[in-house]
Amino acid sequence: MTADASRRGPFEELVVLVSPDGEAIGTAPKSSVHHAETPLHLAFSAYLFDDAGSLLVTRRALDKATFPGVWTNSACGHPAPGEALNDAVCRRVADELGLAVADLRLVLPRFSYRAQQDGIVEHELCPVLVGRVAGTGPAPRPDASEVEATTWVPWTVFAGDVLSGARSVSTWCREQVAELDSLGPDPAHWPEADPADLPAALPR
């Protein structure tokens, strides 16, 4: 539940705890929220495309507490209390990958999941957004504490491999790709979702 402010460091990141219907019910330190009984909390996933339509795919750092070394979508993170979703995505992508994002669009406002690896649980209301990074295959500048490796993959190749089981990715990425694929073959034409469908805990 909400941590005692007197016991937190001045720069400790907080995540927003939520009820199953998306209402905010408290906060918790990001550093300790994930464990065997992780409470439901707010997050996001971002899929970033270059000007050629390829997806930036990342491998999580080998020493991350949750799902270390797993290949996944471009970026994941947690909105801070009171932080707008687009601002959270841009902040995280800049910090984690050294990239600027343009043309962010919400595509899966109600995505949620629960996943477990090595006794650690991810349990999130996790809206999915897509965005653009200028250029063709621009080189990220990853934070090594967060990202082990990156690569650009044509979307049709990535989606086909994930759906067929030929490419191993995180649980949430596999489930998201299945939903994204149902929106159509070209990410540039995926319909933008209604922000009203986002969890109520996110600022409008």
Active-site residue set: 76, 124
Alpha helices in the chain (DSSP H): 30-33, 85-97, 155-164, 171-181
Strands (E), the chain: 14-18, 24-29, 41-42, 44-49, 54-60, 71-72, 75-77, 102-108, 112-117, 120-125, 128-132, 147-154
Pairing of strands 120-125, 41-42: parallel
Residues listed for the chain: 204
- Of the candidates 30, 120, 112, the one whose C-alpha atom is nearest the C-alpha of residue 78 is 30
In a 3-state reduction of DSSP, which class is residue 190?
A: coil
